[in-house]
A and B are shown apart, each in its own frame.
Chain A
Amino acid sequence: MTDDEFGAVNNLLGRPPADPELAMYSVMWSEHCSYKSSRAHLGGLPTDAPWVVVGPGENAGVVDLGDGWLAAIRIESHNHPSFVEPYQGAATGVGGILRDIFTMGARPVGLWNQIRFGDLSEPHNRYLFNGVVAGIGGYGNAVGVPTLGGEVEFDPSYAGNPLVNVMCLGILRHDQLVLGTAGSPGTVAVLLGASTGRDGIGGASVLASAGFDEAAGAKRPSVQVGDPFEEKKLIEACLDLYERGLVVGVQDLGAAGLTCAASEPAARAGVGMDLNLDAVHLREPDMTAPELLMSESQERMMAFVAPDQVEEVLGIAAKWEIEASVVGTVSSGDRLRVYHNGSQIVDVPAASLTDEAPVLRRPIARPDRIDEIWGRSDPAVNTPLDAALLGLLDDPGLGDRSWIYEQFDHMLFLNTVQGPGRDGSLLRVRGTDKGLAVSSDGNGWMCQLDPRRGAERLVYEAALNVAVLGARPLAVVDNLNFGSPEKPNVMWQFTETLAGLGDACEALGVPIVGGNVSFYNETDGRDIFPTPVVGLLGLAEPIPSRPRPVAEDMVILLLGPAQSASLAGSAYQKTILGALGGRPTRIEPEAGGRSIELAIRLSHVVPGSLLHDVSQGGTLIALAELLIEAGIGAKIDLASTTDAFGEDPHRFICLVPSGQEADVVQLADEVGCAVRTIGLTGGRALSFPSSGIDDIPVDKLLTVWAGSIRDRMQGAVHE
């Protein structure tokens, strides 16, 4: 807490704060909890649409799927804890996002993770990557929620500060929706779940709201420890309570623990609360009041219950074998009063902890070098097409990701129509003909070059990813991972990103229903690339028929606008040329909308057509992925470097059996989308007749692609 902020607390209370009060303000007014550096800039985002049931500000965004069904979605970061302790950091990130979803009354049905590390040639990065993947699996598998996809990126920018984002989707019936409100005076606060201990004290302020230096290891005690078994019981108990209509409101205990779970619901309901710390069930004796108020012990929920239903709630908790304590009562007025050892130790306006947190207008400055960087042209290309193709497939950010997702249960609940490894995931809503498509996308390299254009492109890429699964975009959540907000250039990246996200969502007509900001992703003063992650939910109704597998004699079509001469921000530039420069191609909202429309219609109208979004690595990588998995070759007409590896937006490929391509062309004409035939499948090699290079056996591509992560991680075992 700064001197200014301490002065503000003094003014607000009309006296110096007592120790426990100071603890509460310091954690609630931390960057992580208060969004003090970002809040002034978040107001302009589009958050409204007729199908939005709950927008930003609650524990998760909720949208209407029709026929009485709702979906809840949320994304969060656990970057700093995962650097300090990768397994527990990642595991508790999963636990936290799950609680955000079942707090809304929804059953969590899927998890996605977006993870970024330094180069895998460094042993420490392999240790972090291995630990994070094991932690995500260790928690998600055991808690019983399938992990359905995600994305991964490797770049030296993340070596000192890996990014671990996690997104969760839940499904609920309309009448099961629960909000984070404390209700009216007299309502009783019941603390459910794990006992409170000294783990994670001040995690929100010590870890999440500061950068790292050589003493990062000393912050290990601020990382929480997860218990997925406790969480599984807590999920079932809470869903049981909702089904019986026994709660007025619910708030999970995450960052800032009890302090947040008491003050936020009271502030939302415009009431006060009396909180009795002596009633909290404890993991260890003799905890001080500030420790109790700030502990981030995991797997805890605060339920607000009508007084005459408390006994029944305690009975349900006993059935599911979780602990429960009556810890507070909602009061009239606005005061949050806390009692410890029988005496009152805190008396503050509840809403002041949340609503009166400082709003900073930090300086913003456009980087001096940006025009020079945009003006750079790519160095001359000397790499033959086949060498570039093999080089890109060997990039662990582009190669086979099964080493990651085979460590995650991605089939539980029997709803996984499209699991990990493709553009997006698709899951059925059982008992309906609805399918939920989810994609999450980030691209640090692209956003470093141009944060605004990069962010715009992520929105359109995510939308096309769900469109190729036959789904219409419905809602966006964003996770904004940035360096230190105290640097004006970082604030420029941040505000440019928000402008790009807002414009693109506006143009697409898709609301942003939730988000998270993670600042201070820096080590020893070096900031990460600006890395917004866009999660997008789409609705397919009905679920389209299953795409045909790749076979011999299929025509390969490329749909969407023509590729420009630019390689700026591409994987080719990063991996083959190794030189950042130029300015990424802008989105074209109209052309982008037509590509999305065409992909949706093709999925539904041309049965079995196989669609795949063109993104990192460009058209040839998109095609190679399909061919490698099928073990089938093709004759391909992509001779120039930009044709093969350019990443201009709004493009996708479509494979249909020879003779059926006229259907695709006709539909493309109707929609007003350009279409070009780029090849024909057959044989066991990729051949490029117009280029003069030798045929490349698919087996050779498979070996490189399959080993890109797996071979590098040989022998790495969680410590």
Chain B
Amino acid sequence: MTVGIVTFPGTNCEQDVAYALDALGAATVPVWHRETSLDGIEAVVLPGGFAHGDYLRTGAIARFSPIMAAVEKMAAEGRPVLGICNGFQILCEAGLLPGALIANQDLRFICRPVQLRVESTDSILTRAATAGQVLTIPLNSYEGNYVTGDTTPNVALRYCDTEGAVTDAANPNGSRDSIAGITNPTGTVAGLMPHPERAIEDFMASTDGRVLLESFVASLESIPVGAGRD
């Protein structure tokens, strides 16, 4: 099962994500944003960073990169598509996930571990986790404040305190309803602001990121039959 790591000019977490997924048994390949085909690739991750410098608006330019048509096709076929941080922003901008991410409430960049509560377990991001599980995973963003209009997103993860309580005090960036990660209605397209690849080894803030990445790797085994095999 091959996972494409979609890399735009300005992306900077592509090697970290590849390292983490490779360690969990996935085979990753880099995919440059100018490519137009994802043939031979079963799933994709859009990693964190500053695609196209985040100029204009996060993800606003990246969504027009040539590779995005193939990513949209992959999502339409029900194959796993995961956006982490800047990747999440791009998926929202491309309309593959609802809502948008705006500047943090206090207008400062935030790089620190935060607590997340698992809200649903029927997605490529959370299927190996248990509902209500509290995870410690680093956040690393300036535009991490999730907003939506009338749509009600499928929430996968919410910011919480160490006991799992979702409170305003435990909401680091002002996100609506403390949302940290969402999915599409079928759970095959997911995006989250925190970085699970930064929580996978003993010397890191925690190893809680593994359960999310293991969920993603496990979902490669259950890709809908025939999807995308053209």
Contact = CB atoms under 8 A, between A and B. Distances in A.
Contacts of B10: 142, 144, 229, 232-233
A412 B53 contact: no
Contact of B197 (A144, A230, A414, A417): A414
A406 B12 contact: no
B9 A409 contact: no
B9 A412 contact: no
B16 A413 contact: yes
A411 interface: yes
Interface in B111-168: 111-112, 138, 140, 142
Contact of B203 (A232, A409, A546): A546
Contact of A407 (B55, B111, B138, B197): B111
B33 to A, nearest CB: 10
B107 interface: yes
B108 interface: yes
Interface of B: 9-10, 12-13, 15-16, 19-20, 49-50, 52-55, 107-112, 138, 140, 142, 195, 197-198, 200-205
Given A142-B10, A142-B53, A411 B198 contact: yes
A469 to B, nearest CB: 12
A408 B109 contact: yes
Interface in A416-453: 416-417, 428
A96 B49 CA distance: 21
B203 A411 contact: no
A144 B12 contact: yes
B111 A142 contact: no
Nearest to B200: A414
B84 to A, nearest CB: 13
Contacts of A374: none
A141 B53 CA distance: 11
Contacts of A138: 109
Q: Which of B9, B15, B49 has the most CB of A within 10 A?
A: B9
B112 A142 contact: no
A690 interface: no
A522 B142 CA distance: 35
Interface string A123-151: 00000000000100110011110000000
A428 B19 CA distance: 15
B9 A232 contact: yes
A428 B55 CA distance: 33
A355 interface: no
Nearest to A145: B12
Given A411-B198, A412-B13, A546-B202, A142 B110 contact: no
A169 to B, nearest CB: 17
Contacts of B204: 411, 414, 416
A227 interface: yes
Contacts of A407: 108-111
B202 A144 contact: no
A410 interface: yes
Interface string A476-490: 000000000000000
Contact of B12 (A230, A408, A412, A428): A412
A173 B107 CA distance: 40
Given A408-B111, A717-B107, A227 B53 contact: yes
B16 A414 contact: yes
